[in-house]
Amino acid sequence: MGVTALLWTGVACAVGAIGLLRLSWGRPKRSIVLNGAGWGALLLGLALGARDAGAWGVAVVTLAATTGAFLCLGLAGMTARPGKAAASNRRVHMLPEGREPLRIGGRLLTFALTVPGAMAAAAIVSLAVRAAGKGLGEANGNVLMLFLMPIFWSVLATLLLLWPQRRRQAALLLLPALGAGAVWGMLS
């Protein structure tokens, strides 16, 4: 697959878009015109890449935009003056201070619920979705299941970490898993 002028124009639009966005965001007050021009140029670059080479063109334009953003951020980071404020000494309470109990059992239970527990519940829900989509075909059902499983897992793990009450955590894991298990059992 050769690189054409259309793809090069898309790459130039993407790199120019990053430059425009950096210019706009570097001002004391952001410019709506520069922001709009930057995002518009990025969309134009993606459209040109897609028109020329489909998904490959979008990937090439995205790579060019990402590289441009990396270079802008790297340059800004290397040339920025150090801040005047001292670094914060605040702790995030990951570990107990002083003679507080370590709560190893509670920490292990939280890990067990959020990692293997949430993964198992997400797998059951994903398998139920696969079973519900029998008309899609076996390959499409597998892809759908493999697509949904990490999404369900991350949502469940996040909610489990946000809700410290163990009853809520247990309900969050059991209810979707039992419901999906029932659906999966009826459809299998």
Question: 69 lies in a domain?
Answer: yes
Q: Could you tell me if 74 and 138 lie in one domain?
A: no
77 φ/ψ angles, rounded to the nearest 5 degrees: -70, -35
Note the pTM of the prediction, 2 decimals: 0.52
Q: Residue 83's pLDDT is what? A: 79
Q: What is the rounded CA–CA span in Å between residue 96 and residue 91? A: 10
Q: Could you tell me if 123 and 170 lie in one domain?
A: yes
In the chain, DSSP finds a helix count (H) and a strand count (E) of: 7, 0
Q: Could you tell me if 55 and 127 lie in one domain?
A: no
Q: Could you tell me if 70 and 112 lie in one domain?
A: no
Question: 12 lies in a domain?
Answer: yes
In 3D space, the residue among 34, 48, 45 whose CA is nearest the CA of residue 68 turns out to be: 45
Question: 85 lies in a domain?
Answer: no
DSSP letters for 73-103: HHHHHHHPPPPSSPPP----SSS--TT----
pLDDT at 38 over 60: yes
Structural domain that includes position 14: 5-78
pLDDT at 142 over 80: yes
Question: 99 lies in a domain?
Answer: no
Whether 52 and 7 have beta carbons less than 8 Å apart is answered as: yes
Query: Predicted confidence band at 52 (pLDDT cuts at 50, 70, 90)?
Result: very high
Question: 29 lies in a domain?
Answer: yes
* Residues 97-119 pLDDT 10s: 778 888 889 889 999 999 999 99
Question: 23 lies in a domain?
Answer: yes
Q: What is the rounded CA–CA span in Å between residue 177 and residue 90? A: 39
Q: Residue 87's pLDDT is what? A: 65
User: How many domains, the chain?
Assistant: 2
Q: What is the rounded CA–CA span in Å between residue 90 and residue 111? A: 24
Residues listed for the chain? 188
Reported as half-sphere exposure (CB side, CA atoms, 13 A), residue 168 has a value of 9
Domain boundary among 38, 62, 78: 78
Query: Predicted confidence band at 136 (pLDDT cuts at 50, 70, 90)?
Result: confident
Q: Could you tell me if 54 and 117 lie in one domain?
A: no
Question: 97 lies in a domain?
Answer: no
Q: What is the rounded CA–CA span in Å between residue 77 and residue 73? A: 6
